[in-house]
Amino acid sequence: MKDYQKVLLLVWPKLEKLTEFIGQYAQAKAYASFSGRETSEQCVQKILDYLYIRDCFTVLREQMGEVFAKLSREELYLLEYKYFRRKRKLEGEFAQLQCNFCERTYYRRQRKLGEKLNSLFLQRGMDENWFFRTFSSVPYMQNLLERVKRAGVLSAVDKRCRGELHVSDAARIARPRSHGI
């Protein structure tokens, strides 16, 4: 799986709030435009930039929703476990799902899921060029991409959730945290 695809997966749980907050920020910028020190043209350009970013996130949300609709329940669970790390979702929606397989099988299934997601993203036209065309002006996405390239996916996952997740009922006990994390 490519780094930009990992970024798309990492940002997925936050897309709804990001879209809402950016829209609110653009609206607040418009309401407060009379008190700014910038010219009207600069103010309007910033508002348009915010609206463009909001629209990019809205389109991304729709496209990723269509991609996820083509995944099985187990594949959604594996995505949730590796990328999203939403404990409520794992213990709620996926509570009855039993993944009683060994660690090696888990990594094989994650690799196979990565290949399937790559294929689905490319079928929807979501390749690397599309990512850079769409999100080159979004600092949040560029910073997240740099973080993933530099330190991997776990650098962008919420640290509080790392030691609390499990793959099967046999591994429900939380891992002890190391001092480095």
Place of tokens 């929703």: 65
Q: Where are the alpha helices (DSSP H) in the chain?
A: 3-11, 15-31, 40-68, 73-79, 87-92, 103-123, 128-135, 139-151
Q: How many CB atoms lie within 10 A of CB 177?
A: 12
Domain ranges within the chain, ordered by starting residue: 3-168
pLDDT of residue 62: 94
Per-residue pLDDT tens, the chain, 181 aa: give them.
789 999 999 898 889 999 999 999 999 988 888 887 888 898 899 999 999 999 999 999 999 999 999 998 888 888 877 777 777 666 677 667 666 777 888 889 889 999 999 999 999 999 999 999 999 989 899 999 999 888 766 555 544 444 444 444 434 333 334 444 4
pLDDT of residue 51: 92
